Protein backbone atom coordinates (compact mmCIF):
# COMPACT_ATOMS: atom_id res chain seq x y z
CA UNK A 1 0.00 0.00 0.00
CA UNK A 2 1.03 3.61 -0.54
CA UNK A 3 1.85 5.44 2.71
CA UNK A 4 0.94 9.13 2.65
CA UNK A 5 0.17 9.94 6.30
CA UNK A 6 2.00 8.85 9.44
CA UNK A 7 0.79 9.02 13.03
CA UNK A 8 3.35 9.09 15.83
CA UNK A 9 2.51 8.26 19.44
CA UNK A 10 4.81 10.01 21.91
CA UNK A 11 6.52 13.39 21.52
CA UNK A 12 9.65 12.58 23.49
CA UNK A 13 13.22 12.19 22.30
CA UNK A 14 12.41 9.50 19.76
CA UNK A 15 8.94 10.66 18.72
CA UNK A 16 9.95 14.20 17.84
CA UNK A 17 12.91 12.91 15.83
CA UNK A 18 10.70 10.49 13.90
CA UNK A 19 8.22 13.30 13.21
CA UNK A 20 11.09 15.49 11.96
CA UNK A 21 12.42 12.99 9.40
CA UNK A 22 8.98 11.88 8.24
CA UNK A 23 7.78 15.44 7.63
CA UNK A 24 11.02 16.32 5.86
CA UNK A 25 10.51 13.31 3.57
CA UNK A 26 7.10 14.63 2.53
CA UNK A 27 4.73 12.65 4.76
CA UNK A 28 1.79 14.29 6.52
CA UNK A 29 2.51 13.74 10.22
CA UNK A 30 0.17 13.73 13.21
CA UNK A 31 2.05 13.71 16.52
CA UNK A 32 0.24 12.89 19.74
CA UNK A 33 1.17 12.88 23.41
CA UNK A 34 -0.65 13.01 26.74
CA UNK A 35 1.15 16.28 27.56
CA UNK A 36 0.62 19.59 25.74
CA UNK A 37 3.94 20.79 27.12
CA UNK A 38 5.65 17.78 25.51
CA UNK A 39 4.02 18.55 22.16
CA UNK A 40 5.01 22.22 22.33
CA UNK A 41 8.57 21.29 23.29
CA UNK A 42 8.72 18.77 20.44
CA UNK A 43 7.66 21.33 17.84
CA UNK A 44 10.18 23.82 19.22
CA UNK A 45 12.99 21.26 19.08
CA UNK A 46 12.04 20.11 15.57
CA UNK A 47 12.17 23.74 14.45
CA UNK A 48 15.61 24.21 16.02
CA UNK A 49 16.95 21.05 14.42
CA UNK A 50 15.56 22.01 11.00
CA UNK A 51 17.14 25.46 11.38
CA UNK A 52 20.46 23.76 12.11
CA UNK A 53 20.13 21.75 8.90
CA UNK A 54 19.46 24.96 6.96
CA UNK A 55 22.54 26.60 8.49
CA UNK A 56 24.64 23.61 7.41
CA UNK A 57 23.22 23.75 3.87
CA UNK A 58 21.68 20.28 4.16
CA UNK A 59 18.22 21.60 3.35
CA UNK A 60 16.90 24.98 2.21
CA UNK A 61 14.50 27.29 4.04
CA UNK A 62 11.58 26.24 1.82
CA UNK A 63 12.07 22.58 2.77
CA UNK A 64 12.19 23.54 6.45
CA UNK A 65 8.98 25.53 6.23
CA UNK A 66 7.21 22.79 4.27
CA UNK A 67 8.25 20.15 6.81
CA UNK A 68 6.97 22.19 9.75
CA UNK A 69 3.69 22.78 7.91
CA UNK A 70 3.19 19.02 7.52
CA UNK A 71 3.26 18.36 11.29
CA UNK A 72 -0.01 18.51 13.22
CA UNK A 73 -0.22 17.85 16.96
CA UNK A 74 -3.06 16.50 19.06
CA UNK A 75 -3.75 15.39 22.62
CA UNK A 76 -6.35 12.93 21.35
CA UNK A 77 -4.88 9.53 20.51
CA UNK A 78 -7.81 8.52 18.33
CA UNK A 79 -7.07 11.40 15.92
CA UNK A 80 -4.43 9.06 14.47
CA UNK A 81 -7.17 6.74 13.23
CA UNK A 82 -7.09 8.09 9.67
CA UNK A 83 -3.32 7.62 9.23
CA UNK A 84 -1.89 5.02 6.85
CA UNK A 85 0.95 4.11 9.20
CA UNK A 86 1.19 4.51 12.98
CA UNK A 87 4.55 4.46 14.77
CA UNK A 88 4.26 4.04 18.54
CA UNK A 89 7.20 5.71 20.31
CA UNK A 90 6.00 5.80 23.91
CA UNK A 91 7.85 4.79 27.07
CA UNK A 92 9.65 1.43 26.88
CA UNK A 93 7.09 -0.34 29.07
CA UNK A 94 5.00 -3.10 27.59
CA UNK A 95 1.87 -2.36 29.62
CA UNK A 96 1.85 1.24 28.38
CA UNK A 97 2.30 0.17 24.77
CA UNK A 98 -0.48 -2.42 25.05
CA UNK A 99 -2.85 0.16 26.52
CA UNK A 100 -2.09 2.56 23.64
CA UNK A 101 -2.84 -0.08 21.01
CA UNK A 102 -5.99 -1.16 22.83
CA UNK A 103 -7.32 2.41 22.77
CA UNK A 104 -6.22 3.13 19.21
CA UNK A 105 -7.15 -0.04 17.29
CA UNK A 106 -10.96 0.47 17.19
CA UNK A 107 -10.43 3.81 15.41
CA UNK A 108 -7.99 2.65 12.71
CA UNK A 109 -8.73 2.04 9.05
CA UNK A 110 -8.67 -1.69 8.18
CA UNK A 111 -5.56 -1.20 6.04
CA UNK A 112 -3.57 0.90 8.55
CA UNK A 113 -0.17 -0.55 9.46
CA UNK A 114 0.72 -0.52 13.16
CA UNK A 115 4.35 -0.39 14.25
CA UNK A 116 6.33 0.05 17.45
CA UNK A 117 9.65 1.83 17.91
CA UNK A 118 10.41 -0.54 20.80
CA UNK A 119 14.09 -1.31 21.21
CA UNK A 120 13.60 -4.68 22.89
CA UNK A 121 10.00 -5.85 23.49
CA UNK A 122 8.57 -8.82 21.55
CA UNK A 123 6.85 -7.67 18.36
CA UNK A 124 4.92 -10.93 18.15
CA UNK A 125 3.53 -10.43 21.64
CA UNK A 126 2.59 -6.78 21.04
CA UNK A 127 0.95 -7.70 17.73
CA UNK A 128 -1.08 -10.49 19.31
CA UNK A 129 -2.92 -7.93 21.46
CA UNK A 130 -4.25 -6.11 18.37
CA UNK A 131 -6.75 -6.98 15.64
CA UNK A 132 -4.08 -6.95 12.90
CA UNK A 133 -0.97 -9.01 13.76
CA UNK A 134 -0.28 -9.45 10.04
CA UNK A 135 -0.10 -5.63 9.68
CA UNK A 136 2.11 -5.09 12.72
CA UNK A 137 5.90 -4.90 12.94
CA UNK A 138 8.83 -3.31 14.73
CA UNK A 139 10.11 0.00 13.34
CA UNK A 140 13.16 0.76 15.49
CA UNK A 141 14.90 4.08 14.84
CA UNK A 142 18.27 4.95 16.34
CA UNK A 143 18.84 8.02 18.50
CA UNK A 144 19.21 10.85 17.48
CA UNK A 145 16.80 10.05 14.67
CA UNK A 146 17.71 12.91 12.26
CA UNK A 147 21.39 11.91 12.40
CA UNK A 148 21.47 8.11 12.63
CA UNK A 149 21.12 6.25 9.36
CA UNK A 150 19.89 2.84 10.52
CA UNK A 151 16.34 1.56 11.07
CA UNK A 152 15.80 -1.96 12.36
CA UNK A 153 12.75 -3.60 10.79
CA UNK A 154 11.46 -6.47 12.93
CA UNK A 155 8.85 -8.91 11.64
CA UNK A 156 6.59 -10.64 14.12
CA UNK A 157 5.63 -14.23 13.46
CA UNK A 158 2.46 -13.07 11.64
CA UNK A 159 3.77 -10.01 9.75
CA UNK A 160 2.92 -10.32 6.07
CA UNK A 161 5.13 -9.46 3.09
CA UNK A 162 3.02 -6.47 2.03
CA UNK A 163 3.44 -4.83 5.44
CA UNK A 164 7.19 -5.40 5.44
CA UNK A 165 7.53 -4.01 1.90
CA UNK A 166 5.52 -0.89 2.79
CA UNK A 167 7.68 -0.18 5.84
CA UNK A 168 10.87 -0.81 3.89
CA UNK A 169 9.69 1.71 1.28
CA UNK A 170 9.18 4.30 4.03
CA UNK A 171 12.73 3.75 5.31
CA UNK A 172 14.09 4.25 1.79
CA UNK A 173 12.07 7.45 1.33
CA UNK A 174 13.50 8.75 4.61
CA UNK A 175 16.96 8.28 3.12
CA UNK A 176 17.91 5.70 5.74
CA UNK A 177 19.08 2.10 5.60
CA UNK A 178 16.96 -0.80 6.81
CA UNK A 179 18.39 -3.83 8.61
CA UNK A 180 16.04 -6.78 9.07
CA UNK A 181 16.08 -8.39 12.51
CA UNK A 182 14.34 -11.49 13.79
CA UNK A 183 11.94 -11.08 16.70
CA UNK A 184 14.15 -12.09 19.62
CA UNK A 185 14.85 -10.05 22.79
CA UNK A 186 16.52 -6.69 22.01
CA UNK A 187 16.83 -7.58 18.29
CA UNK A 188 20.33 -6.85 16.92
CA UNK A 189 21.68 -3.43 17.91
CA UNK A 190 20.72 -3.57 21.57
CA UNK A 191 21.45 -7.30 21.85
CA UNK A 192 25.09 -6.34 21.20
CA UNK A 193 25.25 -2.79 22.58
CA UNK A 194 23.53 -3.11 25.96
CA UNK A 195 25.64 -5.98 27.32
CA UNK A 196 28.72 -3.89 26.44
CA UNK A 197 27.32 -0.95 28.41
CA UNK A 198 26.34 -3.27 31.26
CA UNK A 199 29.87 -4.73 31.30
CA UNK A 200 31.28 -1.19 31.46
CA UNK A 201 29.10 -0.56 34.52
CA UNK A 202 30.39 -3.81 36.08
CA UNK A 203 33.95 -2.62 35.35
CA UNK A 204 33.15 0.56 37.29
CA UNK A 205 31.28 -1.35 40.04
CA UNK A 206 34.22 -3.69 40.62
CA UNK A 207 36.71 -0.83 40.77
CA UNK A 208 38.66 -1.90 37.70
CA UNK A 209 38.49 1.64 36.32
CA UNK A 210 36.94 5.04 36.93
CA UNK A 211 34.22 6.60 34.78
CA UNK A 212 36.82 8.69 32.98
CA UNK A 213 39.30 5.87 32.43
CA UNK A 214 36.64 3.45 31.16
CA UNK A 215 35.24 5.94 28.65
CA UNK A 216 38.68 7.14 27.56
CA UNK A 217 39.83 3.54 27.06
CA UNK A 218 36.95 2.72 24.72
CA UNK A 219 37.14 5.99 22.81
CA UNK A 220 40.88 5.83 22.20
CA UNK A 221 41.40 2.07 22.40
CA UNK A 222 38.41 0.91 20.34
CA UNK A 223 37.78 4.12 18.33
CA UNK A 224 34.25 4.54 19.72
CA UNK A 225 32.87 8.08 19.27
CA UNK A 226 31.47 8.00 22.83
CA UNK A 227 32.52 5.99 25.84
CA UNK A 228 30.01 3.36 27.05
CA UNK A 229 29.10 5.23 30.25
CA UNK A 230 28.71 8.52 28.40
CA UNK A 231 26.54 6.69 25.87
CA UNK A 232 24.46 5.14 28.66
CA UNK A 233 23.76 8.62 30.02
CA UNK A 234 22.74 9.76 26.54
CA UNK A 235 20.37 6.81 26.05
CA UNK A 236 18.95 6.99 29.59
CA UNK A 237 19.95 4.60 32.36
CA UNK A 238 16.32 3.56 32.89
CA UNK A 239 16.13 2.53 29.23
CA UNK A 240 19.42 0.62 29.51
CA UNK A 241 18.13 -1.21 32.58
CA UNK A 242 14.78 -2.00 30.95
CA UNK A 243 16.53 -3.55 27.93
CA UNK A 244 18.90 -5.58 30.12
CA UNK A 245 15.89 -6.89 32.04
CA UNK A 246 14.23 -7.91 28.76
CA UNK A 247 17.40 -9.75 27.73
CA UNK A 248 17.78 -11.41 31.13
CA UNK A 249 14.13 -12.47 31.36
CA UNK A 250 13.75 -13.44 27.72
CA UNK A 251 16.95 -15.43 27.27
CA UNK A 252 17.37 -16.75 30.85
CA UNK A 253 21.15 -16.39 30.70
CA UNK A 254 23.10 -14.99 33.67
CA UNK A 255 25.44 -13.10 31.34
CA UNK A 256 22.61 -10.60 30.85
CA UNK A 257 22.13 -9.90 34.58
CA UNK A 258 21.91 -6.10 35.07
CA UNK A 259 24.77 -4.69 37.12
CA UNK A 260 23.62 -3.78 40.66
CA UNK A 261 25.23 -0.36 40.24
CA UNK A 262 23.05 0.34 37.19
CA UNK A 263 20.00 -0.63 39.26
CA UNK A 264 21.13 1.68 42.08
CA UNK A 265 21.55 4.68 39.78
CA UNK A 266 18.06 4.16 38.34
CA UNK A 267 16.57 3.78 41.82
CA UNK A 268 18.22 7.07 42.77
CA UNK A 269 16.62 8.78 39.78
CA UNK A 270 20.05 9.39 38.25
CA UNK A 271 18.98 8.54 34.71
CA UNK A 272 21.63 10.38 32.71
CA UNK A 273 21.36 13.56 30.70
CA UNK A 274 17.58 13.82 30.93
CA UNK A 275 17.73 14.05 34.75
CA UNK A 276 21.05 15.98 34.70
CA UNK A 277 22.80 13.22 36.66
CA UNK A 278 23.95 9.75 35.76
CA UNK A 279 27.49 8.50 35.44
CA UNK A 280 28.22 12.18 34.85
CA UNK A 281 26.80 15.27 36.55
CA UNK A 282 25.46 17.73 33.97
CA UNK A 283 24.23 20.44 36.35
CA UNK A 284 27.29 22.70 36.08
CA UNK A 285 28.13 25.15 33.33
CA UNK A 286 31.38 23.46 32.29
CA UNK A 287 32.14 19.94 31.16
CA UNK A 288 30.14 17.14 32.81
CA UNK A 289 31.80 15.81 35.99
CA UNK A 290 32.03 12.05 36.69
CA UNK A 291 29.87 11.00 39.63
CA UNK A 292 32.08 8.06 40.60
Residue pair 119/140 in contact by the 8 Å Cβ criterion: yes
Bridge-partner residues for 178, per DSSP?
A: 151
For residue 254, the 8-state DSSP code is G
| Alpha helices in 134-270, H assignment, sequence order | 161-173, 189-205, 211-221, 228-235, 237-251, 260-267
Nearest CA to 245 out of 262, 268, 265, 220 is that of: 262
Residues with a catalytic annotation lie at 119, 140, 152, 190
Q: CA-to-CA distance for 95 and 197, rounded, in angstroms? A: 26
User: In 3-state terms, what secondary structure has residue 177?
Assistant: strand
Nearest CA to 52 out of 70, 39, 36, 64 is that of: 64
Q: Is 113 left (phi over 0), alpha (psi -120 to 50) or beta?
A: beta
User: In 3-state terms, what secondary structure has residue 31?
Assistant: strand
- Alpha-carbon Rg for the chain, nearest whole angstrom, is 19
Long-range contacts of 283-290 (CB under 8 A, 24+ apart): 288/233, 290/210, 290/211, 290/212
Amino acid sequence: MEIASIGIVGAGQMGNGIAHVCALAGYDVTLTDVSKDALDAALDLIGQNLDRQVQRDRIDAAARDAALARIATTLTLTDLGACDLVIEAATERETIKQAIFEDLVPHLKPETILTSNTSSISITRLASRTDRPEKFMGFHFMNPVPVMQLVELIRGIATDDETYAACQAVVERLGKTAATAEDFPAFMVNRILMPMINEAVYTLYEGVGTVTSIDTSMKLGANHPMGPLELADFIGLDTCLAIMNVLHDGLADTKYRPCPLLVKYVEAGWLGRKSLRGFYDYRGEGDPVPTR
